[in-house]
Structure 1
Amino acid sequence: MSGERLSLLIIGGYGTFGGRLAQLLGEEPRLRLLIAGRSLEKADDFVADLRSPKGGAGRLGGNDLGARLQAVAFDRDGDLAEQLTRLKPDLVVDASGPFQSFTRDAYKVVQACIDLDIDYADLADSTGFVAGIGALDAQAKAKGVFALSGLSSLPALSFAALEAMAPHFSRIESVSAGIAPSAHVKIGLNVVKAIASYAGRPVALLREGRPASGSGLIDDIRVTIAPPDVAPLASRKFLLVDAPDLALLPSRLAGLQSTFTGVGTEPQALQRLLSAAARLVRLRLLPSLLPFARLLQRASHRFAIGDHRGGMFVRAGGIDGEGRKLSCSWHLIAEGDDGPFIPVIGVEALVRRLLEGKRPESGARPAAGELSLKDFEAAFRRFSITSGIRLEREEEPLPLYRRILGSAWQKLPPALAAIHAGGARTASGRARIERGRGLIARLVALAIGFPPAGDDVPVTVRFAAEGDTEIWTRTFGNRNFRSWQAEGKGRDQHLLVEVFGPFRVVLALVPEENRLRLVVRGWRFFGLPLPLFLAPDGETYEEERDGRFHFHVEIGGRLTGLVVRYAGWLVVEE
């Protein structure tokens, strides 16, 4: 320690991730933060902004009693021993990069820290850099310092999620992971350079238990990121990226058969163009995409189309303790601008551990497994970040809503759980019905068979299960109408699909306290996809009140106006 404060040098401290780390730690009075980079002027400007009431520290509740901030110049190609000796940090965090470009003397910063008895951590996402740091392990142990590489989303957070899922398995056979940044987040140039460096290049992974070679930004998988408690992200393809997990997983998991790490960006059309460019590299029609990194960055900023939400997933497949096939997946969604804080949360957790006197073991190693998922989840609570785990056993059919909700099923009030318990059942109650008066609304209601308007109308709902599908037959007074519901597949994975006559509506199930909201995420007419902005809207939810299941369904749209609104209560018959 330097005096009464832990002195932390952040290389790249005013950059995309280093700056966010400074924001997270800026309120901590036990820290001395050295915001470092080649440009002292940029470091000064960043520190001034951080100290201002509208700065990053203020966003998280910082004040004048927070960390001691200092802008410093630091050149990783300069005299490292002289710079580190003069600055006297207790911990160096390298948040610069791209680490893929560190070839000659790649570990010179790490080596300088070890030589001067300074602890080290970084946000590296380069497979070679992270996996290779172990060569300095003996030196670090001899000096009594630690050097942790890859204390970021991949591999620190991905391994934490994998370890949280591991107890469900007797053997893990496949692991895939991916990051889906929000289209509205400004991606840093170093991140783009890192991705461009392996576009169209061979990427080492596992297939059928053997070392194999994939193609960067060409090979893909489709995944829907869907934490149990929030509406999922739009289904998307994830393109293969070279991440440390691919090198680290085979030595950690005996019997592992396949691996994949990917990135899924929005809009997907722009990602398809990026993949096409990567194919030109693979065909040797282009030497590399690195010269186009700045152009790619500008394109990502210009075409910021889609929801302002980002996410991440880790998916494992294998055998459970009873010998059954099991698929387990961890999902995360970050709202708005909170996503880019995720890669630095691991470093923040490390620093707060150090402030509590809890040091990692000495030695140089990848940061995979260094932190637990609970460490990350504690930090998620400061943001609009939701995460959760889903389990799927092939031989264990579950009720429809339970399959879609995953672990969020446990949070449903008893009355809602009883309605969605699965199997053949009947519920009855009373309802109030309103009908739209427009011509198109009346025609739609007639096509589907919605009941006429009425107050205190007797209602009965009969549920019948046919395979993975539920058929709902609703009787309002003497009028019946039917729909069938099923779990979405492919693009509609983790969503509820409900079919009314010629209309197929895709819904997200979103738990909120004692309420379950149904949010339209897509629709089709006779199988033809229709624009989402024309989809049926209105507030639709289920909730428990006075021990009863209550429903509120509102169907309308821009073209139709109100079609039908019905609300009431049901009790499951014994």
Structure 2
Amino acid sequence: MSGDRLSLLIIGGYGTFGGRLARLLGDEPRLRLLIAGRSLEKADDFVADLRSPKDGSEGLGSSNLGASLQAVRFDRDGDLAEQLTRLRPDLVVDASGPFQTFGEDAYKVVQACIGLGIDYADIADSTSFVAGIGGLDAAARAKGIFALSGLSSLPALSFAALDVMAPQFARIDRVAAGIAPSAHVKIGLNVVRAIASYAGKPVSLRRDGRPSSGLGLIEAMRVTVAPPGVVPLRSRKFLLVDAPDLALLPARLPGLQSSFTGVGTEPQPLQRLLSLAARLVRLRMLPSLLPFAPLLQRASHALAIGDHRGGMFVRVSGVDSGGKSLACGWHLIAASDDGPFIPITGVAALVRRLLKGIRPENGARPATGELQLADFEAEFRRFSITTGIRVESEAACLPLYHRILGSAFERLPPAIAEMHSAGPAGGARVASGRARTERGRGFLAGIVARLIGFPAAGEDVPVTVRFTADGEKEIWTRDFEDKSFRSLQLEGKGRDRHLLAEVFGPFRVLVALVQEGNKLRLVVRGWRFFGVPLPLFLAPGGETYEEEREGRFHFHVEIGGRLTGLVVRYTGWLVVA
């Protein structure tokens, strides 16, 4: 360390990811941050912006509690030894890229750091770059420094998630991982160039237990990203991308049968156009999509349609110690467009460990296994990021709500958990209580209410709910005094995976189960009429939740819509007989 501060040089420090790293570490008083790039003017502007007060709070530069900030010019094509000697960093972080296009002298920055005895890390996602850095291992060890490559979502975070799930398996056969960026995140040009460089071209992977290849941005798999207890992302296709995991997994898992890494962007029609363009490259009608990278970037920014949420998944399947099939999935959702911070959380975690005196082992290597999932999750707490693991193959023997909620079911208040604890073979269970019911006054609301059989308005009405298990389905029969109506509940499949499907006659309403404190919220995510999808903005909705109050199960159900207004609202309590 330089004096009492760790001096950190961020190459690409005012860029997409380097800038976010500087913001994430900017409140750390034990750091000297060197914001580096080819343009000193841009570096100065970024530092000034970082120091300026925002929302009435003090800027980083106005308090002695924050990191020391300095804008510097750094040209990776210049005299690296001279620049590094002059700047005297303790650690160099390369956050520039795209690493796929660094050419024959790809490791010149790493070699310059090794030559001067400076620790190095990067967020590279280039398979060849990350996998090949081990060729500098002996030199790095001789100098007593570390050089870690790929300290990003793929492969560092994906391997950390894999390491958490792996102990449950006696043998792992398949591993798949993917990233689903928010449609509203402004993707950097370097990221687009990296993807365009291999579009329609062979991507090395594992298939049927042997080295094989797939087609970049052409081969696909459908996944629903769904951490337990939160609203899932919409089901989407993930297109094959060239990520370091594909080269590193066989060494980690010698018996691996298949591997896949993908990206699932929104809106999906734009992604389908991108895949079509990749097919043109495959057919040699286009030499490459690389010249079109600026156009692709502008299109992604112009067509920013969809949720302000992104996600990531790692799916593992194989057999457990008893020889039974086992499948697990680690899921992540980032709300409020916080997803772009994820690729730099690994570097942030590494820096915080260094400040505690915890150094990685000397040598040059991929960053897989350097950090635990807990290290990443400690950084995630600063953002609207939720993660969780679903043990998918165990779900078949669980009650319906437990299957959908996964591990979040264990966090439910006892009264709610008891209400949904009947197993598939549990037969009928009955709960009784009292309710208050309201009916909408609109003409359409009355028609819908009569069609389904909703109860009339009433105060302190006796209510009985009968839950009848029918295989993996549940039939709910609700009796409000002398009025009865039924619905069928089951787990969504395919595109509706991880959602609760409730069927009222020809209507199927798709609901996300969201565990929130002492409440279980039911959030409408779609609906069908005779199997035909209908617009979500017209879907029946309203505030619907279950909660525990004073040890008793309470319910609050609202059903209404833009066309009908309020159809029915019923609130009350139940006790299992």
Q: Does TM, normalized by the shorter one, top 0.5? A: yes
Residue in structure 2 matched with residue 452 of structure 1 by the alignment: 456
Q: Deviations over 1:445-480 (max 9, x none)?
A: 111111111111111111111111111111111211
Post-superposition offset of 1:211: 1.1
Opposite residue 46 of structure 1, the aligned amino acid is: F
In the alignment, the residues of structure 2 paired with residue 542 and residue 154 of structure 1 have an alpha-carbon distance, to the nearest angstrom, of 38
Opposite residue 565 of structure 2, the aligned amino acid is: G
In the alignment, the residues of structure 2 paired with residue 310 and residue 149 of structure 1 have an alpha-carbon distance, to the nearest angstrom, of 24
* SS, match of residue 23 in structure 1: helix
Post-superposition offset of 1:58: 6.2
Residue in structure 2 matched with residue 346 of structure 1 by the alignment: 346
Residue in structure 2 matched with residue 136 of structure 1 by the alignment: 136
Q: How does 1:430-449 map to 2 (within 5 A)?
A: 430-449=434-453
Structure 1 contact 325–395 (Cα < 8 Å) conserved = no
Post-superposition offset of 1:54: 2.2
Residue in structure 1 matched with residue 512 of structure 2 by the alignment: 508
In the alignment, the residues of structure 2 paired with residue 474 and residue 8 of structure 1 have an alpha-carbon distance, to the nearest angstrom, of 64
Instruction: Pick which of 463-472 and 238-247 moved more.
Output: 463-472
Opposite residue 438 of structure 2, the aligned amino acid is: E
Q: How does 1:414-563 map to 2 (within 5 A)?
A: 414-422=414-422, 423=426, 424-563=428-567
TM value normalised by structure 2? 0.98
Q: Do residues 355 (structure 1) and 348 (structure 2) align?
A: no
Opposite residue 459 of structure 2, the aligned amino acid is: D
Q: How does 1:102-501 map to 2 (within 5 A)?
A: 102-393=102-393, 397-422=397-422, 423=426, 424-501=428-505
Aligned residues: 573
Opposite residue 433 of structure 1, the aligned amino acid is: T
In the alignment, the residues of structure 2 paired with residue 271 and residue 222 of structure 1 have an alpha-carbon distance, to the nearest angstrom, of 13
Residue in structure 1 matched with residue 32 of structure 2 by the alignment: 32
Opposite residue 130 of structure 2, the aligned amino acid is: V
In the alignment, the residues of structure 2 paired with residue 273 and residue 527 of structure 1 have an alpha-carbon distance, to the nearest angstrom, of 27
Structure 1 contact 47–69 (Cα < 8 Å) conserved = yes
Distance verdict in 2 for CA 1:243–1:289, change over 3 Å: same
* SS, match of residue 346 in structure 1: helix
Post-superposition offset of 1:221: 0.5
In the alignment, the residues of structure 2 paired with residue 62 and residue 227 of structure 1 have an alpha-carbon distance, to the nearest angstrom, of 40
* SS, match of residue 392 in structure 2: strand
Structure 2 contact 396–403 (Cα < 8 Å) conserved = no
Moved over 3 A (4+): 55-64
Post-superposition offset of 1:56: 13
Structure 1 contact 47–71 (Cα < 8 Å) conserved = yes
In the alignment, the residues of structure 2 paired with residue 470 and residue 165 of structure 1 have an alpha-carbon distance, to the nearest angstrom, of 31
In the alignment, the residues of structure 2 paired with residue 293 and residue 336 of structure 1 have an alpha-carbon distance, to the nearest angstrom, of 26
TM value normalised by structure 1? 0.98
Instruction: Pick which of 121-130 and 462-471 moved more.
Output: 462-471
Opposite residue 106 of structure 2, the aligned amino acid is: A
Q: Deviations over 1:506-528 (max 9, x none)?
A: 00000110000000000011222
Distance verdict in 2 for CA 1:60–1:334, change over 3 Å: farther
Structure 1's unaligned 5+ residue stretches are none
Residue in structure 1 matched with residue 52 of structure 2 by the alignment: 52
Opposite residue 192 of structure 1, the aligned amino acid is: V
Structure 2 contact 499–511 (Cα < 8 Å) conserved = yes
Post-superposition offset of 1:11: 0.2
Structure 1 contact 172–318 (Cα < 8 Å) conserved = yes
Q: Deviations over 1:59-101 (max 9, x none)?
A: 9999443111111111111111111011100000000000000
Structure 1 contact 170–320 (Cα < 8 Å) conserved = yes
**Aligned residues with identical type, % of pairs:** 79
Post-superposition offset of 1:437: 1.3
Structure 2's unaligned 5+ residue stretches are none
In the alignment, the residues of structure 2 paired with residue 55 and residue 64 of structure 1 have an alpha-carbon distance, to the nearest angstrom, of 19
Opposite residue 152 of structure 2, the aligned amino acid is: S
* SS, match of residue 166 in structure 1: helix
In the alignment, the residues of structure 1 paired with residue 471 and residue 61 of structure 2 have an alpha-carbon distance, to the nearest angstrom, of 52
Post-superposition offset of 1:394: 5.6
Post-superposition offset of 1:103: 1.9
Distance verdict in 2 for CA 1:142–1:64, change over 3 Å: same
Distance verdict in 2 for CA 1:55–1:570, change over 3 Å: closer
Structure 1 contact 218–275 (Cα < 8 Å) conserved = yes
In the alignment, the residues of structure 2 paired with residue 383 and residue 27 of structure 1 have an alpha-carbon distance, to the nearest angstrom, of 15
In the alignment, the residues of structure 2 paired with residue 180 and residue 11 of structure 1 have an alpha-carbon distance, to the nearest angstrom, of 26
